[in-house]
Amino acid sequence: MADTQQQVAIVGCGIIGRTHAQTIAERPDAVVTALVDGDAAARDALRAELVGLGRPEPKVYDDLTAALSGSDVTLVAICTPSGTHAALAEQALNEKKHVVIEKPLDVDLVRARRLGAAATRAANHGVVSSVISQHRFDAGSVVVKQAIDAGRFGQLTSSVATVAWWRSDEYYASAGWRGTWAQDGGGALMNQGVHTVDLMLWFMGRPVTIQAQALRAAHHAIEVEDTVVATLTFENGAVGTLHATTAAFPGGRTRVSVHGTEGGAEVEDDRLRRLVVDGSAEDQPVDAGDPGGHPAQYDDILTAIADSTQPAITVQDAIDALATVRGVYIASTLQRPVKFIDVLEGRYDDVDVSRGIGLPPS
């Protein structure tokens, strides 16, 4: 199988870069051959970890340009701070390299749209690009999606999504990019809640309008929000509420529920906890299985590369999730509802969303 192995460059050797590297290290169809990070200690630590796992020793580089010219990389995994994702991914795509981008796609919709165009051009040359949304591959989430697509919940009426986490002041101070608009792109919603936003959109479809309120409830030293609530209407006529916070000590649960006229479901902490279908008043058995995580998504991505097909999660899917998050921030800033399509198409690109993050009443 060695001749079919994807040779992978991990760009960004921090926590999430290690997750990607460890996932790839377990696979026969991919091998990490390059590590890219300006922090020599981080990349050397990850190199040592891979060697300790019995994998070939990867080359190390300060930047992606050097890695692309100095090795036979075929797949680039972007694991850097969020605000750098699109530019690095576009660079790799322009070199005809397959790309997987850690969530979120980026923090800026202008860059995201440009990347979307680059991904479309690259796809015409057989180049695959995908964005990590691993919770779509969780067994429980798949059961819910299949029930929705089969009409087993009847008419969808509403959805509720909540991310109730805790992050300390030390967490935000641990890296210069955390809690900043330029590199983190937002707080509890953009960083911690974007996966939950993505699941809500997968279940419910695109939003039509968004209303929101965002604030710094506990972490006053950061630029971005630590708490946000929003209400959304969807193209299917349903409504939804979205809540994300990193100010819920000591940390709570993540839930997405879907409700309809003939049933509904609840996914909690990546597992299916409740399922009612086909107008029955009885809960269905809900042991759907374990979360899929990054390994399940890499199965999809590497299969798409091998078979020259589209991955399950495209750059456009990630643009929709980013536009929803951006729409929440815009609605909070303007203190009025905004239309999702207007956000998606750039009519609010000039809105300074940093003005929309309030402080709690004194």
Tens of pLDDT, residue by residue over 76-115, are: 999 999 999 999 999 999 999 999 999 999 999 999 999 9
Q: What is the span of the domain harbouring residue 302?
A: 6-133+298-313
- Verify that 226 and 333 share a domain, yes or no: yes
- Verify that 202 and 117 share a domain, yes or no: no
- Verify that 189 and 82 share a domain, yes or no: no
Query: Could you tell me the pTM of the whole model?
Result: 0.94
265: left (phi over 0), alpha (psi -120 to 50) or beta: beta
- Verify that 104 and 27 share a domain, yes or no: yes
The pLDDT of 52-67, averaged and rounded, is 96
- Verify that 91 and 235 share a domain, yes or no: no
The pLDDT of 221-249, averaged and rounded, is 97
Q: What is the pLDDT confidence band of residue 117, given thresholds at 50, 70 and 90?
A: very high
The pLDDT of 272-286, averaged and rounded, is 91
The pLDDT of 277-285, averaged and rounded, is 90
Structure tokens at 177: 């990019």
CATH number of the domain bearing residue 53: 3.40.50.720
The pLDDT of 172-200, averaged and rounded, is 94
Q: What is the pLDDT confidence band of residue 361, given thresholds at 50, 70 and 90?
A: low
pLDDT over 60 (residue 173): yes
Helices (H), 185-228: 194-204
How many structural domains comprise the chain?
2
The pLDDT of 21-33, averaged and rounded, is 97
Structure tokens at 189: 């919603």
Structure tokens at 152: 């087993």
Contacts of 88 (CB under 8 A, 6+ apart): 11, 64, 76, 78, 80
Tell whether 293 is covered by a domain: no
pLDDT over 90 (residue 283): no
Q: Quick one: pLDDT at residue 143?
A: 96
CB atoms within 10 A of CB 161: 25
Q: Quick one: pLDDT at residue 2?
A: 40
Helix 40-52, helix 15-25: angle, nearest 10: 20
- Verify that 327 and 179 share a domain, yes or no: yes
CATH number of the domain bearing residue 158: 3.30.360.10
Structure tokens at 217: 């409830």
pLDDT over 50 (residue 1): no
- Verify that 150 and 172 share a domain, yes or no: yes
pLDDT over 60 (residue 12): yes
Report the C-alpha gap between 275 and 281 in whole angstroms.
Answer: 10
pLDDT over 80 (residue 362): no
